[in-house]
Amino acid sequence: MVSLARKNLFQDLPRFVVAQAGIMFAVSLVTIQTGIFNGFTRSTSLLIDNSNADIWVASEDMRYLDLTLPMPLERVTQAQQVKGVNRAEALIVGGAVWRRPSGEITPVRVVGFNPDGQLFKPWDISQGNLSQLKQPYTVMLDDSDKDGLKVERPGEAAEIGSFPARVVGFTKGIRSVVSSAFVFASLENAYAYDNSPLASAPDNPPRPPGLTATDRITYILIRAQPGTDLQDLQQRLEAALPETRAYTREEMARLNQVYWQKSTGVGFILGLGAVVGVVVGLVIVGQILYASVSDHLKEFGTLKAMGSSDWFIYGVIIKQALWMAVLGYLPGMALCFALGAWTLEAQAIEILISPITATGVFGITIVMCIGAAVFAIQKVTHLDPAIVFKA
């Protein structure tokens, strides 16, 4: 079948290229805004999503991961006694100040965990190993924070609060856009850093002591015994551990995501950007299709006079719109993937383009182009075929 739609579209190549650039722009804008939103959302719950815990126990006053009240370490032992608990581990999350050798200070987020534990550990280690963190005053950083913390390789040292911090390894891609740089340490080291006064580090500080039952931790990570109903276990944990609340991992992640989305308005801002992208695309495609239909009005009139149905002509215009959608979407999406890879590599900022996002944006592109086609179709609907006899 002769494709009048395709041939009409490619007949005026410069106009076609301008149209495709417009659609590419719209596709890229929607995809990047959505991708940044997804990446942002994921990064707010990065530590939670990558833990191996079924349940996170937190202070009942907790608002989000970084804003909570501590609880004594003895709660871990108490949690271990609760029916249905297979394993309980402590986690310390707290803010501290990183002092570079040059004297500059930078805020960091110290994450203390048991290097021999099972429920939390940095998941992508590019240099060093976890057992090195058992040594006093040792830390792991993320590759993406090397510049910010002025550290290049393992063995280099800085200070956290009034204690030294020797870098023993690096992780890859563990960075949150809503948090300071993560500094991974053992529970003992993290506790020391967390409670360190902001003063210069003494020479040869004492080895951090082991934690006692009254020492403060931030979260308890729980692994349930196989077959345990998590809702029941949450209730039992809350009953057994005073002033706490128990969240499944998904609930905890969601709580953080919602907090950041609402408190920062980022969802609204990025959503607005995406809507602007769709509107701009709609206007551009609409204009191009309308102009194309106007240019080919006599041809459509000829088709009508010869007896073609209105729907055949609508089909030609809609096919044109679909061609424009597909040929604008593919390079637009390729551009977004390339940009996403670059931002991740250069800035460790993830533009998360999931298959759902890619499919959704394709759907939006199609709807956008068909919408523009419907606008252009109006011109044909009222076309009098008798125009063909007017020279």
Partner 1 sequence: MDKLTPPVELQRITPAKAVVASGIEMIFQSGAERFQALRGIELEIFSDDLELLMGPSGSGKTTLLSILSGILTPTAGTVELLGQEITGLSRGKLAKFRLKNIGFIFQDFNLFPALTAQENVEAVLNLKGIRRQAAKHQAQQLLEQVGLADKVKSLPRDLSGGQKQRVAIARALAGSPRLIMADEPTAALDSQNGHAVIELLRKLAKEEDCTVLMVTHDPRIMDVADRIVYLEDGMISPQAPHFFPVADGASSS
E strand residue ranges, the chain: 55-59, 71-72, 85-99, 105-113, 125-127, 138-142, 157-160, 163-171, 181-186, 216-217, 219-224, 244-248
The residues facing 113 across adjacent strands are 186
Given candidates 63, 83, 262, 298, which one binds partner 1 under the rule CB under 8 A? 298
Given candidates 309, 354, 359, 378, which one binds partner 1 under the rule CB under 8 A? 309
Residue 229: enclosing H or E segment and its boundaries?
Answer: none
Q: Does 294 bind partner 1 (CB under 8 A)?
A: no
Q: Does 17 bind partner 1 (CB under 8 A)?
A: no
Closer to partner 1 by CB, 205 or 315: give it.
315
Number of residues that bind partner 1 (CB under 8 A): 24
Q: Does 13 bind partner 1 (CB under 8 A)?
A: no
From the list 198, 189, 73, 59, the residue with the least C-alpha distance to 137 is 189
Given candidates 312, 334, 367, 378, which one binds partner 1 under the rule CB under 8 A? 312
**Distance between CA atoms of residues 172 and 46, nearest Å:** 13
Phi-psi region of 167 (alpha: psi -120 to 50; beta: other; left: phi over 0): beta
Q: Does 291 bind partner 1 (CB under 8 A)?
A: no
Given candidates 13, 307, 346, 355, which one binds partner 1 under the rule CB under 8 A? 307
The residues facing 72 across adjacent strands are 216
State in angstroms the smallest separation of the CB of 316 from partner 1.
10
Q: Which residues contact 357 (CB under 8 A, 6 or more apart)?
A: 31, 34, 35, 38
Closer to partner 1 by CB, 280 or 388: give it.
388
Q: Which residues contact 362 (CB under 8 A, 6 or more apart)?
A: 329, 333
State in angstroms the smallest separation of the CB of 285 from partner 1.
19
Given candidates 251, 302, 322, 337, which one binds partner 1 under the rule CB under 8 A? 302
Distances (CA, A) of 273 to 139, 158, 205, 282, 344: 39, 41, 52, 14, 21
Given candidates 59, 68, 308, 343, which one binds partner 1 under the rule CB under 8 A? 308
State in angstroms the smallest separation of the CB of 341 from partner 1.
39
Of 350-389, binders to partner 1 (CB under 8 A) are 385-386, 388-389
Q: Which residues contact 64 (CB under 8 A, 6 or more apart)?
A: 44, 255, 256, 259, 260
Given candidates 7, 63, 207, 262, which one binds partner 1 under the rule CB under 8 A? 7
Given candidates 26, 140, 141, 303, which one binds partner 1 under the rule CB under 8 A? 303
Question: CB–CB of 88/220 below 8 Å?
Answer: yes
Residue 153 has a CB neighbour count (10 Å cut-off) of: 9
State in angstroms the smallest separation of the CB of 390 from partner 1.
7
Closer to partner 1 by CB, 63 or 298: give it.
298
- Give contact residues for partner 1 (rule: CB under 8 A): 1-2, 4, 7-8, 10-11, 298-299, 302-309, 312, 385-386, 388-391
